[in-house]
Each structure stands twice: as C-alpha cells, then as structure tokens.
Copies of this chain bind each other. A is one copy, B any other.
Amino acid sequence: MSEADFRIGLLGHGTVGRAFEALLAQRSDEIAAVTGLRPRITGVLTRSRGDFARVLEEAELVVEVMGGLDPAREHVLAAMAAGRHVVTANKQLLSRHGEELWGLAREHGVQLRFEAAVAGVVPVIRVLQESLAAAHVERLHGIVNGTTNYILSEMARTGADYENALADAQRLGYAEADPTEDVSGEDAAAKMAILARLAFGTPVDLDQVRFEGIEHITAYDLEYARELGLGLKLIGTAERVDGGALNVRVHPAFLYPGHPLASVNGPYNAVTVESADITEITMSGPGAGGPQTASAVLGDVISAMIPPASTPEATSSLEVVQDVESAFYLHLEVADRPGVLAQVAQLLGLQGASIKSVVQRGLGEHARLVMVVHPMLESRFFAALELISRLDFVRARPRAIRVIEEEFT
C-alpha cells in the first residue's frame, strides 16, 4: 500500500514557484519517509492561467509565491478561511497585513508559515517563533538585504565607489535594473518589521520603521573602515529602549571586528538575537535565490504536514567510513643539511601527495620545514608521515594538522 497523498496548491509559477516544484519532486521520497505522506501539487495558479477556486478546492495546503499585495492577500485570506494551511514567501504582504493574516490563522486554527519571507533559508523565523518563543529578547540586529551587503562588500574589497559596485551587482544579477527598494533600505525595513513583531510580540507597522539606505556611502567611508578594521554594513535593528518601548530602524553602520555580523560578506543575510538568557545567537546564510527560497518554503510545508515529530526513523543506512581526503599542514624539525626537502618530498610523492607550499627556516643546526599538501587520502598521508618520522635527520615527532580549504565568501 502506498502512502496517502498530501495535496498542495501552488499560487505563482515564477523563479521560486518553479524551483519549489522541482525541489518537491526531487525530495518526494525523503518527505514520504519523514512524514508518511507523499506531497503532490494538485493545482497551479499564475496571473494568466488557472482558477483559484479550483486550486483551493483540491488542496490541503496553499503555497503562495506570487508576491505583491494583490491578489496575494485576497487568496491567502480565502485559503485560511477555507481551513487550508498557508506557506508564503511574501514579505510585503506580512509587513503590511500581518496582524490581519495572523488573526485569521488563529481564528481558523490553520498554520501560516513564512520562513522564506525573511533571510531566505536562514531559519530566523522558526527560531524566533519556536526556540525563543518565551525568551525576553533585548535586541535583534540583521543584515537582511543581500543586494546591499554585496555592494558594500565589493566596495570594501575592491575600493570601488558606490556607482561602480552597483553596476557590477546589476551585471551579476545581485541587483535589479531599478535597485531603489533594496538600496534605499525599504526592503530591509519590511523584513525588520516582521522580525520585530515576532521577537517582541508587538505589532509593528512598516511606517514605524525608520530607514536610510546606502546610496550616500563613499569609497572613503570604506577606506576608513578598512584602516580601523571595521566592517560597514546595512544593519536593521529592533531593540527595547527606555525600558518599555521599541525602536525599529535600518541604516548603514560600522561594526567592530568582534561583532558576529562584521564578517558576513557578499550576498549573504545574517541575524543576531540578543537576550540575557542566551547571550546572543547568530544565524547566517544566502539571503535569496530561487533554490534557497524554495528550500525554505519546503521546510515550512513539511512542518505543516506533520505534528511536531519525535525523531523520524532512520531514513538511510549510509556506510560509515573512517578514511577520507584532507589537505594537511606538516611541520618538521630537521637537521639543516642538503637533500632533506628532497627526501621528504619523495616519501610524500610515493603516496600521491602534491605539495602546495613549503617554507624552510634555519634555526642554527636545525631547520624548520613547514609544508601544506593538497587533499589526499588520510591513510596515505599518515603512511608517508610514518616513514618521514623515521628519517635520521628528523629531530622531533612530525606534526600534522588538517587544512579546510573552502572559502565561502
């Protein structure tokens, strides 16, 4: 007997809608294993195609990724009124009509999930709503607009001025032809209104969020930042002030290097939540992109499909292996005599090692030989190391430390 179906209506079929459809098909088996239900898209509505009433009729849950206020608001309200769960990625809708939508979800006992509306796949909505449900949050700082973070990162990295960095971002697809909503801080303000509502349990109207953009930032400002080791970011802040009040704002700000958001570069998003109980936690990741947004939507869909699960049964039985490939830093204390490097290199070479860099320093009669080798099977590296340690010119136990070579930004 096959699993029961779980019927999903899809509103919107642009980049995110299509990415969601593809991801859902690709993950169908895993989802069935986790939830006991097989998800199926039973209807699609676009601006030019499909009938909303019919999509709704056939669905248990509606995914809204059309964006904009109309007709998204109307459709989401109708779906919840008809008892359907809703997953949406629509930040405009939530920042302008959140109380109405959340109120209706409560009234009809349905779930309204919206992880993808803020910071894409960075799970800040879930963490605020669940992990920190009763925490007394003091402050929340966020880099919640990837376009502006990319532009500021490029200005910092290359010394470019704002106009050139913006043009680059447009060329690479990180900024739109009309970048106003991003660079003015308005997009970030909408996201901060949503985060503030969740973190502080207080309704926040978008009009109550002050915002300032990055259009006036100059190459000199970033030169100053570099000289002092500071980061310059477009920062959204929501914080308690004067005991009983709340302030929500977006503006460029310098950050000291110890701040968790200072090292967030490129088109990334990140949010730091501060509270006396937790000190602070930071979450970061790519802010947008079709597959990332689709992945956030899918996480919400799966959560809506199941009660808060006990740990699912083991869904795979991968073989657990011990030997893997690693790059290595190798540190040797050797006698300072000719041929030392050649013999070490030969032993490494016999095991297939490729040397990336070598530094040799004389220390009187001894020398210190430090090298980095490219990734190789660890068992083979250690076989070479064992032989190297027995060479008569090696004066101390060789030291090896792995090197993780990935850079993300």
A403 CB contacts on chain B under 8 angstroms: 230, 253-254
Complex: chain B residue closest to A327, CB-CB? B254
Q: Indicate which residue in B239, B262, B285, B298 contacts A134 across the interface (CB closer than 8 Å).
A: B298
Give the number of copies in the complex.
Answer: 2
Assembled-state Cα–Cα distance A55/B407 (Å): 51
B245 with A319: CB separation less than 8 A? yes
B408 with A260: CB separation less than 8 A? yes
A34, CB-defined interface residue at 8 Å: yes
Using a CB-CB cutoff of 8 Å, which residues 318-360 of chain A contact chain B?
Answer: 318-325, 329, 331
B322 with A129: CB separation less than 8 A? no
B404 with A253: CB separation less than 8 A? yes
Q: Indicate which residue in B111, B235, B404 contacts A259 across the interface (CB closer than 8 Å).
A: B404
A291 with B277: CB separation less than 8 A? yes
Q: Indicate which residue in B218, B280, B368 contacts A399 across the interface (CB closer than 8 Å).
A: B218
A181, CB-defined interface residue at 8 Å: no
A150, CB-defined interface residue at 8 Å: no
Binary flags per residue of A279-292, CB closer than 8 Å to B gives 1, else 0? 11111111001011
Known: A202-B316, A308-B307. Contact between A278 and B285, CB under 8 A?
A: yes
A309, CB-defined interface residue at 8 Å: yes
Given pairs A121-B277, A131-B296, 10 additional interface contacts (CB within 8 A): A27-B136, A111-B308, A201-B314, A217-B401, A244-B319, A247-B323, A253-B403, A254-B402, A278-B285, A307-B307
